[in-house]
């Protein structure tokens, strides 16, 4: 059998005909286009001077601006954002940090509102919680008021004894007992004042919580109701609510 050579070019240049049969030795037609080349995009941009650039890789003259990445048929595949400098990167990182904080705060607000509605499904349940929180304070006030009355009774014989020394210097033991009695009474009065102020504060917390719950009960989405601090001293502005308040739950 005779071998024939025929002139070939392109991708079939490495092929030859043996006995009328074509043997492909170096690949089929089109094999010269590699998968990497097929996947590569075409970068296109206009630089700061107005000159248009086209390349098969990111264009250095356009690192400060967007670059279009095109498919081989000319359709746009994506947009390559400008490369950020150190200051821009820091600003972007700060933006992402703040966004993450907001997302976390919103997640916490959603969880808190859901727990709040589970604990207080209606206004009657919330009023019951308020009364429970105030009950301990009322008991503490009553105890202190009772103690004041006891101290006042204890002071009466001291005052009667002091009548014998009217216009004279009181004996030191009597004076000491009278001063101690007055100090104890004042301490109990201070406790009463503090407990009453705490009742005002807790009522303010429950009022703000009730206003929030009413919106949630009406259908507002958990986490969507903004926080409104109670008015007056002892509100939520930087002050932690007491353990008896539902705001701590």
pLDDT tens digits, 37-88 = 345 689 999 998 999 999 999 999 898 889 999 998 889 999 988 888 888 8
Residue 78 placed within a domain: no
Residue 66 placed within a domain: no
Say if residues 68 and 43 touch (Cβ distance below 8 Å): yes
pLDDT score of 33:
34
Residue 244 placed within a domain: yes
Residue 213 placed within a domain: yes
Say if residues 244 and 204 touch (Cβ distance below 8 Å): no
Q: Residue 242 above 50 pLDDT?
A: no
What long-range pairs does 73-81 form, CB within 8 A, spacing at least 24? 77/41, 78/41, 80/43
| Structure tokens, 231 | 């008015």
| Structure tokens, 192 | 């009463």
Residue 215 placed within a domain: yes
Q: Residue 215 above 70 pLDDT?
A: yes
Q: For residue range 161-191, what is the model confidence (pLDDT) as tens digits?
A: 999 988 889 999 999 999 999 999 999 999 9
Residue 11 placed within a domain: no
Residue 49 placed within a domain: no
Most confident residue range from 67-81, 125-139, 156-170, 225-239: 125-139
Residue 129 placed within a domain: yes
pLDDT score of 8:
44
Confidence of residue 150 (pLDDT cuts 50, 70, 90): very high
Q: Residue 235 above 50 pLDDT?
A: no
* CB atoms closer than 10 angstroms to residue 67: 23
Torsion of CA 27, 31, 32, 37, to 10 degrees: -150
Structural domain total, the chain:
1
Candidate from 19-23, 151-155, 175-179, 204-208 with smallest mean pLDDT = 19-23
Task: State which residues form the domain around 216.
Answer: 103-248
pLDDT score of 84:
80
**CA angle, residues 238, 240, 241, in degrees to nearest 5:** 130
Backbone angles phi, psi at 144, to 5 degrees: -70, -40
pTM of the model: 0.56
Say if residues 202 and 134 touch (Cβ distance below 8 Å): yes
């Amino acid at each position: 059998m005779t071998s024939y050579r025929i002139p070939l070019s392109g991708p079939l240049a490495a092929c030859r005909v043996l006995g009328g049969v074509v043997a492909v030795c170096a690949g089929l037609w089109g094999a010269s286009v590699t998968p990497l080349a097929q996947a590569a995009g075409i970068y296109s941009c206009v630089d700061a001077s107005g000159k248009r650039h086209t390349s098969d890789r990111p264009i250095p003259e356009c690192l400060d601006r967007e670059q279009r990445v095109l498919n081989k048929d000319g359709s746009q595949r994506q947009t390559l954002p400008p490369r950020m400098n150190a200051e821009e990167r820091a600003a972007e990182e700060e933006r992402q940090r703040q966004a993450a904080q907001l997302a976390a705060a919103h997640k916490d607000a959603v969880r808190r509102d859901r727990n709040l509605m589970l604990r207080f499904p209606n206004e009657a349940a919330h009023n019951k919680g308020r009364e429970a929180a105030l009950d301990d304070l009322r008991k503490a006030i009553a105890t202190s008021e009772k103690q004041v009355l006891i101290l006042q009774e204890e002071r009466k014989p001291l005052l009667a004894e002091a009548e014998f020394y009217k216009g004279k210097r009181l004996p030191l033991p009597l004076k000491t007992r009278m001063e101690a009695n007055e100090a104890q009474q004042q301490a109990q009065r201070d406790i009463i004042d503090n407990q009453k102020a705490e009742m005002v504060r807790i009522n303010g917390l429950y009022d703000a919580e009730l206003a929030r719950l009413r919106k949630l009960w009406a259908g507002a989405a958990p986490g969507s109701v903004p926080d409104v601090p109670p008015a007056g001293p002892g509100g939520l502005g930087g002050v932690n609510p007491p353990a008896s308040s539902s705001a701590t739950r």
